[in-house]
Amino acid sequence: MGPLSINTGAITGALSIGTGTLTATGAVTGGTLTDGTASITSGAVTGVTTLSASGAATVGSVVTAGTVDGRDVSVDGGNQDNLQTLPGVGAGSTNLGTLQEA
């Protein structure tokens, strides 16, 4: 059997390609795209347990559950916030005044 070719129109209903490969140019549209574990629906990715990338990954907010490299980043963030709110020192200031040993 040769390859399926569609030049115009649309395929409706469920389409199973078995263990083959689906290759498309342009947009692939539908309700949800899934491999049975991970799904993409309306731009949201769910069910992913491992995400790998090469190069830089640009994201908005990052929310973690647990630790990063063994460190609790929420505690580190709180400590950073405390450093930024020293009495009499403006946020982001590089001049902390005169420091004295306790």
**Residues 39, 46: contact at Cβ < 8 Å?**
yes
Instruction: Give me the mean pLDDT over the 18-31 stretch.
Output: 75
- State the DSSP H helix or E strand holding residue 74, giving kind and residue range, or none if neither: helix 73-84
Mean pLDDT (the chain) is: 77
d(CA 37, CA 45): 11
What is the structure's pLDDT at 3?
A: 67
Give residue 50's pLDDT: 84
pLDDT of residue 24: 76
For residue 85, what pLDDT band results from cuts at 50, 70 and 90?
A: low
